[in-house]
Amino acid sequence: LRGLPQITTKNFRALHIVGDLVPFEAPRAYRPYSRERYEGPLVLLPEGGLTTALERGRYAAAFDDRDLLYNESFVGISFSGARPDLAHALTAIMNSSFVAYQLAFIGCTLGIKQTKVERVDLDNLWIPRLDQLDADLVAEFVGIERDLAAAPTADHLAALDALVCRACGLLDAEQALLGDAVARARSVIFETPDDRLPMAAAPNAVEIPAYAAHLCAAFNEFAEDDDDLALVPECYSYAATDLIALRFTLTSQSKSVATDIRPAGLEEVAPIALSAAFGGPDLPYLKALQSLRLYVGEALIVVKPARYRCFSLAAAWSDGDRVLADIMRSNLDTAGGNIIA
């Protein structure tokens, strides 16, 4: 191992190694492995890998075609004797929102128990089989990895995430979960107010319609026949200072027409006649992250705290499942009102 360039965390950056590497000249090494383990091309996966990422909230992986020595702070994958384009593809995938989502939300204690990625977390990642990817798809990964290494722009990152979704064959609902995965992962992984604040901010005029559209899409996935119930967005309004009320219509699939939810006054979203079901003209106080669903006739009124985490695309698909469960469980009486909190 003597004479091999030695990588440290100071030299590691997402996608590549920077700076001059000092040769390893120590008389002995602690728990050394065979020389073949360090032969390039190498994909290097740090056990940290969070602060050097292309975007805060993503994981960072790097490629290098040299033989390099690394310590137990890294997991190295040697592609010696294998196709180097697959090494570039793996590097690109590891920097994607797909991996960020898994590290933050699937079977990992990152942000709860620990502040770094551990080897066991990397072992549990799910990625596509590189050797079974179409050659053109691998070439696209190589190209996007090269573009990101040269100039990591938001467009390049979006293209990478879309390419990973295509390589994994993800459904629309699964892709929706990844739409804001990096922002949500950032709030879980890091402890600073700046990282957590975006999830507590009020949703904007783009995010509210997106939430409504995906909620309807989640529910309407099960509307196969013309007489099956379908959910159509109608209008929404801010209520009090920290609530948003949204109105939907439950109608038959044959009569449903896809529309975008529109802003309106609270009296249109929740008229006085409906507000009486809440106990008066004022909408109720909801604790953080709680929501309320009111069914009256063909109308569904959803009231949620005005926090982005309640209006994320992931929340929309979860709420679509909840609406479906309401109907399946309680056989809603369309002549009266049903309140579900």
Report the C-alpha gap between 17 and 190 in whole angstroms: 24
Please write the tens of the pLDDT for every residue from 180-228: 899 888 888 887 888 888 888 999 999 999 999 999 999 998 888 887 8
Exposure letters 199-238 (e unless 16+ CB within 10 A, then b): beebbeeebbbbbbbbbbbbbbeebeeeeebbbbbbbbbb
| DSSP 8-state secondary structure symbol assigned to residue 69 | B
Confidence (pLDDT) at 334:
44
Confidence (pLDDT) at 331:
59
Nearest to 82 by CA among 127, 140, 138, 121: 138
Partner residues linked to 239 by β-bridges = 243
- Tokens representing residue 83 in the block: 């196709």
Contact in structure between 341 and 302 (CB atoms under 8 Å): no
- Tokens representing residue 287 in the block: 């604790």
111-115, 268-272, 335-339: which has the highest mean pLDDT?
A: 268-272
Lowest mean pLDDT, pick from 68-77, 258-267, 290-299? 290-299
Q: End-to-end CA distance of the chain, in Å?
A: 63
Quick one: three-class SS letters along 135-181? HHHHHHHHHHHHHHHHCCCHHHHHHHHHHHHHHHCCCHHHHHHHCCH
Contacts of 254 (CB under 8 A, 6+ apart): 226, 227
> pLDDT higher for 234 or 266?
234
Report the C-alpha gap between 144 and 150 in whole angstroms: 10
Strand, coil or helix: what is 251?
strand
- Cα-to-chain-centroid distance, residue 274: 36
Please write the tens of the pLDDT for every residue from 39-88: 989 999 998 767 889 999 999 999 999 999 998 889 999 999 999 999 99
Give the β-pairing of 262-263 and 229-239: parallel
16-25, 109-118, 131-140, 322-331: which has the highest mean pLDDT?
A: 131-140
Average pLDDT over residues 14-18: 90
Please write the tens of the pLDDT for every residue from 322-337: 999 988 876 554 444 5
Confidence (pLDDT) at 336:
46
Contact in structure between 54 and 95 (CB atoms under 8 Å): yes
Report the C-alpha gap between 6 and 23 in whole angstroms: 6
Name the H helices within the chain. Answer: 84-94, 97-105, 119-123, 135-150, 154-168, 172-178, 181-189, 193-200, 207-220, 266-269, 272-275, 313-330
